[in-house]
Amino acid sequence: MFFHQRPKLQGNDWRLVVLFLDDAFDPGMETLGPLRQETMPWLIRGVIPDLLQHVTTPSPVLNVLRPLIAQNERDVYQQGTKWTQEIQQMPQLALSEQERLLNLLVQFLLQKFSHLDSKEITRMLQLKPIEESVAVQEWMQEAQVTLLAGMIEQKFLVAMEDVAQRLTPLDSKTLQALGRYVMTADRYEQIEGWIDGHLATIK
Q: What is the 3-state secondary structure (H, E, C) of 135-161?
A: HHHHHHHHHHHHHHHHHHHHHHCCCHH
For range 65-73, the mean pLDDT: 88
Nearest alpha carbon to residue 18 among 6, 10, 26: 26
Confidence of residue 131 (pLDDT cuts 50, 70, 90): very low
Instruction: Kindly report the pTM of this predicted structure.
Output: 0.54
- What's the alpha-carbon Rg for the chain, to the nearest Å? 20
Quick check: 48 and 68 in contact, CB under 8 A? Answer: yes
The helix (run of H) or strand (run of E) holding residue 72 is none
Nearest alpha carbon to residue 32 among 1, 61, 10: 1
Taking all residues of the chain, what is their mean pLDDT, rounded to a whole number?
Answer: 83
Query: For 163-197, what is each residue's pLDDT tens digit?
Result: 999 999 998 889 889 988 998 899 999 999 999 99
Quick check: 126 and 82 in contact, CB under 8 A? Answer: no
